Amino acid sequence: MSKIQAAITGVHGYVPEKILSNKDLESIVDTSDDWITRRTGIKERRILAKDKPTSFMAIKACEGLLSKTNTKPEEIDLVLCATMTPDMLTPSVSNIISKELNIRNAFAFDIQAACSGFLYTMITAEKFIISGQCKKVLVVGADKMSYITNYNDRTTCILFGDGAGAILMEPNLEGYGIKDSILRSDSEHGLDLLKIEAGGSKNPCSHETIDQEKHYIKQEGRNVYKYAVEEMFGASKEIMNRNNITSDDLAYLIPHQANERILESVAEKLKLPKEKVMITINKYGNTTAATLPLCLWDYESKLTKGDNLVFTVFGAGFTWGAAYVKWAY
Ligand code: UT7
């Protein structure tokens, strides 16, 4: 009997209608469209209404996915959502999705690995599928970054946006799906360079933490940038080498969208032409756990069955990784 692999059998996304352009940001902080475009590649990002939570976007993405793939809610046996901006600490966004979409035969939980969240979650789903325990898994990446973004800090507020994406994963016996993966973390160097200091059990939110703007995301951008290039390149190269894939064999690299210059550097080091790199950062910014499924959603019509894809991510923790996937439809 052929080996069971976990294949992606559908994808859908959702971004809020409201656009925050670089021009808009010029009137909020001391920045310019020219600086943001040159240094990050971002032109605009989407912002969810203040009164709507992360699950609102996740549910929209999943609703579209179920309808597009003709999947009945009762067929889903696992719901996994990657997010660092859950509606509340508990219950999970995955449980909220399940309730709203009438998914009654599944178990559900969230995974928090910041910008690496979607890849970590996709690989977790894979393990439940290849073990034979699950047949139809909803894998979601959703983040409302605008609520943890400091619009007084020009070094971070230009980067982030809101969005959600979802994929359906199912067993495949014909050699399509996830072929290999690498997941890594380095907590020695990562803990201090990219974080939200307050709002957790170590430093609960108080008037003081709010006055000090400690409930917002902060990073040492230049340092994080260097690690992101090195580790996304390293993981991609390692997975390509051990599966004998050259850049000619690759249909697309699907990288986490943090900065277009990071993507260009990784592509250059892999000797990959830019046309083979999925890029959506220009219109969505960094949507954290949603960047990979939003890329798939955007490029879905360009993909063909059998395409070789390499996913790669880098995020807080630090966390990073890569996966080699043979596209299934
Ligand atoms: O998704 C998780 C992982 N995150 C990342 O991978 C993000 C990695 N980091 C980055 O993308 C970049 O480091 C940033 C986009 C955050 C910053 O770009 P940079 O080219 O590294 O700029 P920098 O921090 O070295 O700052 C260069 C200059 C500074 O001015 P001085 O000190 O040279 O006078 C900054 O104050 O640019 C200034 N600057 C800005 N100027 C206009 C910083 N932000 C802005 C801004 N507009 N928004």
Q: Mind listing the pLDDT tens digit for each residue in 139-168?
A: 999 999 999 999 999 999 999 999 999 999
Residues of the chain with pLDDT under 70: 1
Q: Is residue 256 among the annotated active site residues?
A: yes
**pLDDT value of residue 1:** 53
Indicate whether residue 221 lines ligand 1 (CB < 6 A).
yes
**pLDDT value of residue 304:** 98
- C-alpha distances out from residue 163 to 110, 122, 192, 195, 284, Å: 16, 17, 26, 20, 8
In whole angstroms, what is the distance from residue 98 CA to residue 268 CA? 42
Q: How many CA atoms lie within 13 A of 305 on its CB side?
A: 7
**pLDDT value of residue 48:** 98
Q: Which domains occur in the chain, in start order?
A: 5-175 (3.40.47.10), 179-326 (3.40.47.10)
Pocket test for ligand 1, best of 222, 229, 286 (most atoms within 8 A of CB): 222
Phi–psi pair at 203, nearest 5 degrees: -145, 75
**pLDDT value of residue 189:** 85
**pLDDT value of residue 227:** 97
Name the packing angle between helices 117-130 and 291-299 (round to 10°): 80
* CA angle centred on 255, ends 66 and 284, rounded to 5°: 65
Is cis: bond before 318, omega within 30 of 0? yes
Indicate whether residue 84 lines ligand 1 (CB < 6 A).
no
Catalytic residue among 256, 259, 295, 308: 256
Distance 155 CA to ligand 1 centre (A): 5
Indicate whether residue 37 lines ligand 1 (CB < 6 A).
no
Indicate whether residue 258 lines ligand 1 (CB < 6 A).
yes
Pocket test for ligand 1, best of 24, 27, 39 (most atoms within 8 A of CB): 39
Q: Is residue 115 among the annotated active site residues?
A: yes
Q: Is residue 157 among the annotated active site residues?
A: no
